Structure 1
Amino acid sequence: MAGDCCESACGSTKALNEPRWRRALWIALAINAGMFGVEMFAGSAADSHALQADALDFLGDAANYAISLLVAGMPLIWRSRAALAKGLTLAVLGGWILVTAARAAIIGTSPEAATMGVVGFAALATNATVALMLYRFRTGDANMRSVWICSRNDAIGNIAVVAAALGVFGTGSAWPDLIVATILATLGISGGVQIIRHAGREFQEAAT
């Protein structure tokens, strides 16, 4: 998940000296930010909480790339503030998705399996494209390797969304969508909390 990659993706600045690496990160940032918006919109339109939860991965990766590109060369206190903002955003969004999923379970919903499947496949193709683009940097420093591994691992969440879509289609029930949403949102909250704790320690170090 995205939150698990923050420390290594945000902590190294060595890789930023390579123009090809910076260009790849800018492209990955644009793609992930765009897919975050697409999945949040599609999830709302299709009443799919799994899509909304999967969007957290794209948000987390986009934030990782932005931190690496924009604030990695700044003092530690600014980097910790940026990471703290990311952690809070992931935790809040994850909590919101859990609340809305619980509400959907109570009142009953019927997510659109077709939209879930199409957008889930698009998200999977997106992460595969980013992973292939970053493949050449997989043997670089920890920062380079972590970014590639994050994109590769995020495909697991996309596969889970596609599986949820098949489950909704096959059973006519919203439970596959809600179960996947709960798992992904919980992982997003966990990652956000870890980032907040790490950023807090760095902020204290910078303050002293």
Structure 2
Amino acid sequence: MSSGHGHTGHGHSLSAGSDQRWLLGALGLIVAFMAAEVGIGVAAGSLALLSDAAHMLTDAIAIALAVWAIRLAALPAKGRMTYGWKRAEILSALANGLTLLVLAAWLTYEAIERLITPPEVTGGLVLVTALAGVVVNVAATWMISKANRSSLNVEGAFQHILNDLFAFIATAVAGLVMLLTGFARADAIASLVVVALMVKAGVGLVRDSGRVILEAAPAGLDPVVIGRGMAERPDVAEVHDLHIWEITSGQPALSAHVLVRPGRDCHAVRTDLATLLAAKHDIEHTTLQVDHATPGREGTADHCETAHGPVHRAAATS
């Protein structure tokens, strides 16, 4: 029997310090503008401005949470935390997605109320503030885009800021419409446009982070295709108990039980499979249990009472 494990470092950990600097810069911009927007929104009586300010508050929380998760993820693996705290980044992304959906639900309720009974809104003040918000959010979006967006955690913060940019653009349009035509419902309509964008981003973050938490195979990695490819390598009789998951975003891992044809070199087969997985599928964190198949009984019966998932063989897959 031969067991092997391969793992190499990842670029994301090397860029963690840089990611934090970009995120903290964006956080400073967001907090400063949010404080000013709350006062202006109250003075103007604008739901769109107040909803933007509320969204900016969640932006600030999202960025702070992302920075905290990056610092946690950088802690070494020890004790019971055998993977370290890398999943903290996924929890942060999940929290960001959920807050987007909760905020979208609240804004929908408020916007519908204002569609029914539109209040008095100062269109000029809304327009000027929204245009300033566009500038601030373009800068913040640019800063976060410089961080490593392959991290689902950073992507969650980025989606918050990007949606806030869209919100300010919609609010500026609403302010211009109100200023030129007096159509007060434009304020609520702008909020509903932003709600649609928030729901789209929130659902995507919840779906992607949920897939990691549930340890489903990462997007783009098909376990059936990978299992068949492994089974077709020289001297491999069978592959079963194949599991593919993500430790955190961008760090796929794989484990499997491999049966080697009688009399063949288990160590050479393990090395060949690890090389294949790294080169073709970018899976560098692999754990392979390699055993010789019993002559005349090249199957799971001698090794596993029940195989977890499909059994892959070179001639056929069952």
TM-score (norm 2): 0.50
Residue in structure 1 matched with residue 60 of structure 2 by the alignment: 62
Instruction: Report deviation, 1:52.
Output: 3.5
Distance 1:201 1:42 in 2: 41
Residue in structure 1 matched with residue 14 of structure 2 by the alignment: 14
SS at match of 1:101: helix
SS at match of 1:174: coil
The one-letter amino acid of 1:25's match is L
* Equivalenced residues, count: 191
Q: Percent identity?
A: 26
Distance 1:44 1:90 in 2: 23
Rg comparison, structure with higher value: 2
2:118 to 67, 90, 108: 108
Unaligned runs of 5+ in 2: 1-11, 74-84, 216-246, 248-318
Higher helix share: 1
Residue in structure 2 matched with residue 71 of structure 1 by the alignment: 69
- Mean Cα displacement is larger for which, 87-96 or 143-152? 143-152
Distance 2:91 2:163 in 1: 26
The one-letter amino acid of 1:110's match is E
- Mean Cα displacement is larger for which, 117-126 or 98-107? 117-126
Distance 1:150 1:81 in 2: 15
Residue in structure 2 matched with residue 85 of structure 1 by the alignment: 95
Residue in structure 2 matched with residue 9 of structure 1 by the alignment: none
1:24 equivalent to 2:22? Answer: yes
- Mean Cα displacement is larger for which, 186-195 or 96-105? 186-195
Measured against aligned partners, the alpha-carbon deviations of 1:35-64 in whole angstroms (never above 9, x if no partner) come to: 345445543543323224434653454345
Higher strand share: 2
Distance 2:87 2:141 in 1: 30
2:47 to 36, 46, 49: 49
Distance 1:89 1:168 in 2: 30
Residue in structure 1 matched with residue 301 of structure 2 by the alignment: none
Q: Is the 8 A contact 1:16 1:69 kept in 2?
A: no
Instruction: Report deviation, 1:28.
Output: 1.0
Distance 2:160 2:38 in 1: 20
Q: Is the 8 A contact 2:124 2:175 kept in 1?
A: yes
Distance 1:86 1:40 in 2: 22
Distance 1:156 1:189, change over 3 A: closer
Unaligned runs of 5+ in 1: 1-11
Distance 1:170 1:200 in 2: 46
1:123 equivalent to 2:133? Answer: yes
Instruction: Report deviation, 1:177.
Output: 1.3
2:172 to 162, 165, 173: 162
Measured against aligned partners, the alpha-carbon deviations of 1:77-112 in whole angstroms (never above 9, x if no partner) come to: 322322222222221111111111111111221212
Distance 1:195 1:141 in 2: 16
Distance 1:46 1:97, change over 3 A: farther
Residue in structure 1 matched with residue 214 of structure 2 by the alignment: 204
Measured against aligned partners, the alpha-carbon deviations of 1:3-44 in whole angstroms (never above 9, x if no partner) come to: xxxxxxxxx4432234xx533321211222343454455435
The one-letter amino acid of 1:186's match is A
Distance 1:85 1:169, change over 3 A: same
Residue in structure 2 matched with residue 3 of structure 1 by the alignment: none
Measured against aligned partners, the alpha-carbon deviations of 1:99-128 in whole angstroms (never above 9, x if no partner) come to: 111111112212121221222122122124
- Mean Cα displacement is larger for which, 163-172 or 143-152? 143-152
Structural RMSD (CA): 3.5
The one-letter amino acid of 2:107's match is I
Distance 1:168 1:190 in 2: 27
